[in-house]
């Protein structure tokens, strides 16, 4: 396959566009498929029990391999690197990787947006070393402030207070802004929407509601369990009036709303009811080095095989460019009965 490249930008690097004209701006890097939580909508404990075989160590990318692939993605246009998993903070020596990634020269004024998504359980111990290594900001997942609701959703009765302490640790470490992701599932944590919004307004963190998505096959997803973005906006707006504001950058996943009383903003990620494939600039690298061009991709591309077989940066650049320029994924726009039975990959395995 021959790569079709967009005009060479001033930086000298080639920034390829896919078949729908979308550039690659945002790389999500999963550093492990393991997680200490068993969230019912992601990694339910009935399926991912003690006997579940996670990836052996030699099959996951080393820090050096991740840095090399990330550096190549940055040359191809990535401006943002998001570390994820599984739970990224369970990967040993993570601050060492952050330091390596922070040293990559970014395309815009040499600066890369380096961030991480976590369940927050280990942030009290790790927020400071991560910030010192060059992490800029953090997104913490938290689905309720009610221990009974949160404990049931995270599958291990993990207490809310420890996540809140992790959020405090992130703020103390200067990881700013702290964003909070809340997956809303009908009949499970809808009653937590307003308490979470009130807490975020008081704390100064940016809350983002996420529509429950049909990722993977383990969660038994049903459309009836999705609380639509419009309903979430109406619920919050009835308590504290809000108005829509534009995206902060192309490809931003959350629709942003600001509170009319000036107490910050709230975001809603409406991947089910209002898909945003047309603006999707995201690439995903799994812990074992599979490159996915869509969260709903049915297969990945073997970057680990490529980097282990060929040490040349040029070959890696061509490999990644060919994949990106052949991309035409827009699963969420096509979602229908016809896509129901596609062999999807679990989110924790691909990198959420
Ligand atoms: N362990 C980290 C965490 O908890 O944030 C990172 C990985 S997790 C897979 C990334 C994000 O995906 C979390 O905010 C999680 O709530 C979200 N997520 C997982 N499954 C989801 C689903 N079915 N629908 C919507 N969001 C989901």
pLDDT at residue number 8: 41
How far apart are the CA of 180 and the centre of ligand 1, in A? 11
pLDDT at residue 329 is higher than 90: no
Q: pLDDT per residue over 112-129, tens digit each? A: 999 999 999 999 999 999
pLDDT at residue 148 is higher than 80: yes
- Show the ligand 1 pocket: residues with CB < 6 angstroms: 35, 41-42, 84-85, 87, 117-119, 141, 181, 183, 210, 212-213, 215, 219, 347-348, 352
The residue whose CA has the least distance to atom 4 of ligand 1 is 119
- pTM of model > 0.85: yes
pLDDT at residue number 219: 84
pLDDT at residue 12 is higher than 60: no
How far apart are the CA of 42 and the centre of ligand 1, in A? 7
Q: pLDDT per residue over 303-319, tens digit each? A: 999 999 988 999 999 99
Contact, 294 vs 344, CB < 8 A? no
Contact, 301 vs 323, CB < 8 A? yes
Q: pLDDT per residue over 166-212, tens digit each? A: 999 999 999 999 999 999 999 999 999 999 999 999 999 999 999 99
Ligand 1 binding pocket mutation candidate from 43, 88, 117 (most atoms within 8 A of CB): 117
The residue whose CA has the least distance to atom 10 of ligand 1 is 352
pLDDT at residue number 230: 96
Contact, 77 vs 16, CB < 8 A? yes
**Dist. CA 2–CA 180, nearest whole Å:** 41
How far apart are the CA of 98 and the centre of ligand 1, in A? 21
pLDDT at residue 281 is higher than 70: yes
pLDDT at residue number 13: 56
Q: Is residue 1 helix, strand or coil?
A: coil
How far apart are the CA of 290 and the centre of ligand 1, in A? 19
Strand pairing category for 242-245 and 255-259: antiparallel
pLDDT at residue 3 is higher than 80: no
Long-range Cβ contact pairs of 94-99 (< 8 A, separation 24 or more)? 94/31, 94/126, 94/130, 95/126, 95/129, 95/130, 95/132, 95/133, 96/63, 96/133, 97/31, 97/63, 97/66, 97/67, 98/130, 98/133, 98/134, 98/135, 99/133, 99/134
How far apart are the CA of 182 and the centre of ligand 1, in A? 9
pLDDT tier at 2 (50, 70, 90 boundaries)? very low
**Dist. CA 166–CA 247, nearest whole Å:** 28
How far apart are the CA of 99 and the centre of ligand 1, in A? 25
The residue whose CA has the least distance to atom 13 of ligand 1 is 141
How far apart are the CA of 51 and the centre of ligand 1, in A? 22
The residue whose CA has the least distance to atom 22 of ligand 1 is 213
The residue whose CA has the least distance to atom 12 of ligand 1 is 352
Contact, 46 vs 40, CB < 8 A? no
Mean pLDDT of the region 221-244: 96
């Amino acid at each position: 396959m021959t790569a079709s490249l967009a005009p060479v930008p001033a930086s000298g690097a080639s920034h390829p566009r896919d078949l729908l004209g979308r550039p690659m701006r945002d790389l999500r890097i999963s550093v492990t498929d393991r997680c200490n939580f068993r969230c019912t909508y992601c990694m339910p404990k009935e399926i991912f029990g003690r006997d579940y075989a996670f990836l052996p160590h030699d099959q996951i990318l080393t820090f050096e391999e991740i840095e090399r692939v990330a550096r190549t993605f940055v040359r191809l246009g990535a401006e943002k690197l998001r570390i994820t998993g599984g739970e990224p903070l369970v990967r040993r020596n993570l601050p060492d990787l952050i330091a390596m990634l922070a040293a990559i020269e970014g395309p815009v004024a040499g600066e890369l947006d380096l961030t991480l998504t976590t369940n927050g359980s280990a942030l009290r111990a790790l927020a400071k070393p991560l910030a010192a290594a060059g992490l800029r900001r953090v997104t913490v997942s938290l689905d309720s402030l009610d221990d009974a609701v949160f404990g049931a959703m995270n599958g291990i009765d993990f207490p809310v207070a420890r996540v809140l302490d992790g959020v405090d640790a992130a703020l103390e470490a200067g990881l700013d802004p702290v964003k909070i992701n809340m997956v809303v599932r009908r009949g499970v944590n809808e009653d937590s929407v307003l308490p979470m919004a009130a807490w975020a307004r008081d704390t100064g963190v940016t809350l983002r509601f996420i529509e429950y998505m049909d990722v993977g096959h383990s969660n038994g997803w049903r459309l009836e369990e999705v609380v639509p973005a419009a309903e979430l906006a109406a619920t919050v707006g009835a308590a504290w009036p809000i108005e829509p504001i534009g995206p902060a950058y192309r490809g931003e996943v959350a629709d942003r709303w600001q509170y009319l009383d000036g107490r910050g903003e709230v975001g809603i990620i409406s991947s089910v009811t209002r898909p945003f494939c047309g603006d999707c600039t995201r690439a995903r690298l799994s812990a074992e080095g599979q490159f996915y061009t869509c969260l709903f991709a049915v297969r990945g591309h073997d970057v680990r095989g490529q980097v282990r077989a060929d040490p040349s940066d040029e070959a890696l650049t061509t490999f990644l460019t060919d994949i990106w320029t052949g991309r035409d994924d827009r699963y969420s726009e096509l979602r229908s009965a016809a896509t129901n039975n596609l062999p999807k990959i679990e989110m924790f395995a691909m990198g959420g």
